[in-house]
Structure 1
């Protein structure tokens, strides 16, 4: 596939990295130094220029392009780039936007803006936050097979009931598979005698109830109650969308916004939320409004530094769990190291959604694990698949190390994968794949 990526920021570079090994990729950015620096890391064709310019697109080979991905930080730039590409090619166009107004217009009119698929960063981030919030202790959560399968990542802390246990001992749930252990940056496919250590991150795949039971088994008893008291610090678009999604789930969130005008707008639009006009760094206010009793505090302020400060302050006064938005992807691990429970990077969430459209046609869904150390793929099994009409044990013998079939669904029903499970054509398989063998495996599934 011939792909033109417009924008060499975090989103564009992540997408280009995921494509470069198996596709021809042209990476366009106005900053030539940025593009040139990435060519030392990625096997892409760099091009300095304006992605909205027809001349630039023609120089990039738009006539032969199969896909154009516009993912700069400018909504209008991305839309115009896609529209321009459509005037001279039949390439599939993907536009990244932040403002939900563009998404609403595009969703209501087929082919609007000349965009075939639109990704809204703010909405995707809010959806990610709400998914994580619904599972105690999870660092990452994704659903597959129309919600029949759930993947979740958990960190094993001191005192965890599975610390120093073997996987065989920890696997106490019938419809759950331990897909991987992440330790010191390495991905390990666990065996029954693999020992889970403090500091490990474990990836589990199973039906939603089994994953929830597993999450609850890792969570202190006092933290097991349903999420009720939710505080959202910052009335940004991400904060607004997060509150709206919580409202849809019957939760009445509290929103803290310092700007009077924005606070008033939020109160008018979010009729089931409680909006405070105040500075969230005011410790007295936090105590007065019982933030110390919060089940969850979500910070969506305008800077990473403020989000970190307020998250740590909320934990200090007694909030149970914090989730914060981190715009700079390099800060994610740092934030979680110093005390934030979960850091969500909007650019990484967006890159994951766009990457899904660049995989094989039968790949239904995708989750990127730990900045692309691994991926979880949902594939619909066809007659050419390595899995078709074979037992999982038989198929595994032809697969490299680093691959685990985590779940199978058939006609919407969950099937716990075991060695003697026969995978049939038409089934959906949810498979964990180490990035090192992804290109070899993805086309064979």
Structure 2
């Protein structure tokens, strides 16, 4: 597939890095230093120029492009790029935007502006925060098959009942599959005799209720779902996060320092208590009883501020902290010093966009541990290697590193076991080692 990425910021570079091994990628950016760096550091062709100009698009090969991803920092520029791409070729176009209002306008007139698909970075991030914050102890959460299947990643604590047991001994949920384990720098595909150790991050796939039961019973037996939610920062991500909690029946508190922005948020969020103050002020946080919150979300403009807010919340005794980070290199640092979850908007956006570069039958993907593994949802065709017999047999013929986590057949959830047979038309959710992803996609 010939892919053109316009805009080599954090999101654009993340997308290019993910696609470089399996696709013909061209990146357009006006910054000559970035272009030179990309040509040396990535297996892509980087072109200096303006992606809204037909001449630049033609230099990038727009006539033969299959996909154009407009990922500059300007919403309007991204829309124009898609329109220009449609005028010069027949590529599928994706525009990355930050404003939810622009997304809603596009959704009301699909195909408008020459945009085939629109991704709202801040809304994706807010929804990811809501999913993760609502499941005790989870580090990552995603939904598949229209909500029928849930994937979650948990860290096994030293007091967990499954620490020191095998997967076979721990497997006592009817609709749950143990898929993979991240242990330090190692990725382990789960099997019956795999030992679960304290400190492991384990990926499970199953029905929403079974994953929730696993969370409360095993991963975090003393932790309940959140009731009191505090969002620090009225940035667009903070605003969208509060709105997401509102839409699911919560009444969060939002702390914003700027009086004009605080007023805007208060007017737009009727079920949110907006407090106009500095979220990094420890005395204010104590005075407002932020320590009573079940979850504090740090969504200020700046990684250092979000780290400070999270540490202050942890010091006050908040059970769970979620921080937005722009610099992906800080993710491990945040979690090392005690922040429960660090969410990177560019990873959320790349995950949503990259699925369009997969095989046509790929419905959804979730990237885990900075793309060390993926959970993918596919609709199985008659020629798939998955339909040749029981799962125990067909997975033996696939590259090592694949676990079938769940099957949907006619809207019914089937928990896969060794003797289960997959049929054409089934929707299958698989955990796949990133090192063998392309081979697996070709086979299934």
State the shift of 1:221 in Å.
4.6
Tell me the equivalent position of 1:243. Answer: 242
Equivalences for 1:71-86 in 2 at 5 Å?
71-86=71-86
Contact 1:247 1:272 in 2 (8 A): yes
Tell me the equivalent position of 2:294. Answer: 295
1:345 aligns with 2:368: no
CA distance in 2 between partners of 1:34 and 1:311 (Å): 33
Tell me the equivalent position of 1:362. Answer: 361
Tell me the equivalent position of 1:208. Answer: 208
Contact 2:256 2:277 in 1 (8 A): yes
Tell me the equivalent position of 2:409. Answer: 410
Please report the RMSD computed on the Cα atoms of aligned residues, expressed in angstroms.
1.4
Contact 1:390 1:424 in 2 (8 A): no
Contact 1:389 1:425 in 2 (8 A): no
State the shift of 1:330 in Å.
1.2
State the shift of 1:71 in Å.
1.1
Tell me the equivalent position of 2:105. Answer: 105
CA distance in 2 between partners of 1:252 and 1:25 (Å): 45
Number of residues of Structure 1 aligned to a counterpart in Structure 2: 444
Contact 2:398 2:443 in 1 (8 A): no
Tell me the equivalent position of 1:122. Answer: 122
Helix, strand or coil at the partner of 1:306: helix
Equivalences for 1:42-441 in 2 at 5 Å?
42-224=42-224, 226-388=225-387, 390-441=389-440
TM-score, normalised to structure 1, is 0.97
State the shift of 1:353 in Å.
0.3
State the shift of 1:389 in Å.
5.2
Structure 1 residue ranges without an equivalent (≥5): none
CA distance in 2 between partners of 1:162 and 1:33 (Å): 51
Contact 2:27 2:44 in 1 (8 A): yes
Q: 4+ residue stretches of structure 1 with deviation over 6 A?
A: none
Contact 1:21 1:439 in 2 (8 A): no
Contact 1:389 1:424 in 2 (8 A): no
Contact 1:105 1:112 in 2 (8 A): no
CA distance in 1 between partners of 2:280 and 2:102 (Å): 33
CA distance in 2 between partners of 1:438 and 1:233 (Å): 38
State the shift of 1:185 in Å.
2.0
State the shift of 1:253 in Å.
0.2
After the TM superposition, which of the residue ranges 25-34 and 365-374 deviates more from structure 2?
25-34
State the shift of 1:32 in Å.
3.0
Helix, strand or coil at the partner of 2:286: helix
Q: After superposition, what is the alpha-carbon deviation per residue over 1:23-72, rounded to whole angstroms, capped at 9, x for unaligned?
A: 21111122233233333443222212221121110111111111101112
Contact 2:216 2:222 in 1 (8 A): no
State the shift of 1:105 in Å.
1.4
CA distance in 2 between partners of 1:314 and 1:38 (Å): 39
